[in-house]
Homo-oligomer: A and B are copies of this chain.
Amino acid sequence: MGRSALSYKIGVLGGGQLGKMLAQSAADWNLSIHVLDPTEPCPASICAVHHKGDFRSYEDVLQFGSAMDLITIEIEQVNLDALRALKKLGKQVFPDPESLAIIQDKGLQKLSYQKWGMPTADFFLLDDWRLLEKRMEVERFDYPIVQKLRKDGYDGRGVQLIHSAQDLSRQFQAPSVIEKKVSIAKEIAVLAARNRSGAVVTYDPVEMVFHPEANLLLYQQTPATIHERQASECRKIAADLIGSLDIVGLLAVEFFVDTTGKIYINEVAPRPHNSGHHTIETCITSQYQQHLRAILNLPLGSPKLLQPSILWNLLGAEGHSGPAFYQGLEDSLSRDGVYIHLYGKEMTKPFRKMGHVTITAPELESAVNQWLEIKEIVRVISIAD
């Protein structure tokens, strides 16, 4: 580790739950974490030094970063020009601003996958939204299609399914990617890590389990119920991709598996990711410590999975907006292997990520059974209601 890495002042753009858990992990090595976030207090405030400011603002990022030795991110919608300027000032910036530039633009992402021969759904880029149907004809695309905004989409926002010409009225009126709709059988995520020396590790694939009818994520489970061959393929793609994108840090790669078993890259995130929360309790090296190892150019840790787990996002209940109140936590804590993480967001609103619950068990089935009970008990509501 040497003296320098241990004494680094690390700045993180964003002070949400990912920044918070990164700071908790960094405290093991007595690494001081500073976060830039407009909200006060932000989730990371509890264990990081909070600097109030906007990670999308050139001035704020430049000023914040100037006082740091190393700048990293917990959200990708950050000001790239400021990061470029910080790099020129001799600051270490991970991931590199040019890698982020590709990821911030879903069009460039898709073109890169194409260039690198990586599997992804057929697409074309649409600059002028008025030309959608003409372009579909030329490209021989049929409905349904998926429209994704090239920029500023986040966490599912900026993505929509267009079933037919009747849906055209709600088209995004901005540059977008138009994709053929994959017949999705499964959704998988693989986390890769790469340090400055180019060493790469990948974690076991995680499966997103959806409600059989509603398009609603129920929980994430590890291990995923895919074939060993598919798991290896996903891990191989994630390892190749983090290298091709020249990312130092973490890259979460989300995949579709279609009804014929074929794999497609859906989206990526170059940072700690929701699909890696379970690693805190279930893997030899958590995604947060792994990110620190990567950006500090330490040896990467083993990503080995020690126990199966269910990861359940604690979302704000529908119909509740206001100061958050957590129902049923005491009951859930009476169960073995149930880990509650609360993000410290003061206000809840429907579907806001307020925390998560990791459920570990020697067998996945026991964890699922615990979840079936816990999901009926734990709720994030507003005390104002």
B-binding residues in A (CB < 8 A): 1-3, 6, 20, 23-24, 27-30, 32, 43, 46-47, 284, 293, 298-299, 301-302, 304, 306-307, 325-326, 329-330, 333-334, 336-337, 339-344, 360, 383
Contacts and interface: CB of A to CB of B under 8 A. Distances in A.
Nearest to A330: B1
B325 A3 contact: yes
A237 B329 CA distance: 31
| Nearest 6 interchain pairs by C-beta | A299-B334, A30-B344, A1-B329, A47-B47, A302-B336, A30-B342
A298 B330 contact: yes
Given A28-B340, A342-B30, A2 B330 contact: yes
Nearest to A298: B333
Contacts of A27: 20, 24, 46-47
27 contacts: A1-B330, A3-B325, A3-B326, A6-B329, A6-B342, A20-B27, A24-B24, A24-B27, A24-B47, A27-B47, A28-B339, A28-B340, A28-B341, A28-B342, A29-B340, A29-B341, A30-B43, A30-B344, A46-B47, A47-B47, A284-B336, A284-B360, A299-B330, A299-B333, A302-B336, A302-B337, A304-B336
A35 B56 CA distance: 35
Q: Is the interface of A mostly helix, strand, loop or mixed?
A: mixed
